[in-house]
């Protein structure tokens, strides 16, 4: 796993590097002292894992995540403050390690990171809607709907809007999993419970959570081929 360390304290970065030397499965591809440096390095190196401090000059760790679009790594927060723990897990961070970092806690976090390592395509998004934010795994998204210049994501019981076009997201999502049902909707094929034939000749997909998606006639032919 390629890892990037983001922390404004030099000694904290050195200590984390030292601890990571015991884990041959992790390659540290860079260090950043602040959010601006981290943003540049993330775009350059596309890390699998981000060790992220919360309180930094300029922008904090959550602000940094909000700026990521095409590549959101797995996130392990590393901080001396415990008051951000709830927010960290609300955004689906992989773990929250308090400094000084205990080797056994680091090992457990890395084991989870290895188990959750993505294989292809856009695997997670950082989503902010007002004061709420999430790190969303692509596999948990069952539907994406275009609303003007925005896309509404459907996952769990949440329905946030993000400022992205449906066409842009479609190019980044795994085509084996995500299917363009019609001009305004993309659905997760793994969520299909069953399909039925509609009066217009197109298919209607029933998702596992009870939501239905109307599939255009042309895309219905493509879906029949995929399902067979």
| Residue 211 lies inside a defined structural domain of this protein | yes
Domain enclosing residue 179, as ranges = 127-227
Which tokens sit at 163? Answer: 């400022």
- CATH code of 69's domain: 3.40.50.2300
The model's confidence at residue 200, banded by pLDDT at 50, 70 and 90, is confident
State the pTM of this model. 0.63
Q: What is the pLDDT of residue 122?
A: 73
Top-confidence residue, 117 or 103:
103
- 144 with 67, same domain: the answer is no
> For residues 58 and 36, is the Cβ–Cβ distance under 8 A?
yes
| Residue 94 lies inside a defined structural domain of this protein | yes
Which tokens sit at 26? Answer: 């992790």
List, for residues 11-55, the tens digit of each pLDDT value: 999 999 999 999 999 999 999 999 999 999 998 998 999 999 999
Total number of domains in the chain: 2
Which tokens sit at 54? Answer: 């919360």
User: Rounded CA gap, 223 and 202, in Å?
Assistant: 10
């Amino acid at each position: 796993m390629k890892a990037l360390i983001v922390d404004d304290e030099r000694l904290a970065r050195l200590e984390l590097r030292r601890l990571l030397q015991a884990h041959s499965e992790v390659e540290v591809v860079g260090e950043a002292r602040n959010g601006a440096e981290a943003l540049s390095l993330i775009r350059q190196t596309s890390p699998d894992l981000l060790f992220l401090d919360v309180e930094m000059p300029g922008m904090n760790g959550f602000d940094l995540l909000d700026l990521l679009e095409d590549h959101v790594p797995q996130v392990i927060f590393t901080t001396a403050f415990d008051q951000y723990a709830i927010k960290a897990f609300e955004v689906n961070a992989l773990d929250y390690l308090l400094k000084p970092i205990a080797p056994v806690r680091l090992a457990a976090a890395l084991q989870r990171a290895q188990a959750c390592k993505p294989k292809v395509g856009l695997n997670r998004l950082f989503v902010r809607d007002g004061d709420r934010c999430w790190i969303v795994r692509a596999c948990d998204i069952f539907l994406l709907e275009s609303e003007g210049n925005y896309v509404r994501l459907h996952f769990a019981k949440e329905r946030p809007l993000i400022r992205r076009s449906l066409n842009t997201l479609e190019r980044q999502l795994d085509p084996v999993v995500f299917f363009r049902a019609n001009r305004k909707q993309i659905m997760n094929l793994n969520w299909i419970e069953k399909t039925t034939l509609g009066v217009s000749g197109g298919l209607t997909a029933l998702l596992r959570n009870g939501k239905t998606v109307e599939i255009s006639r042309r895309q219905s032919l493509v879906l029949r081929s995929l399902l067979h």
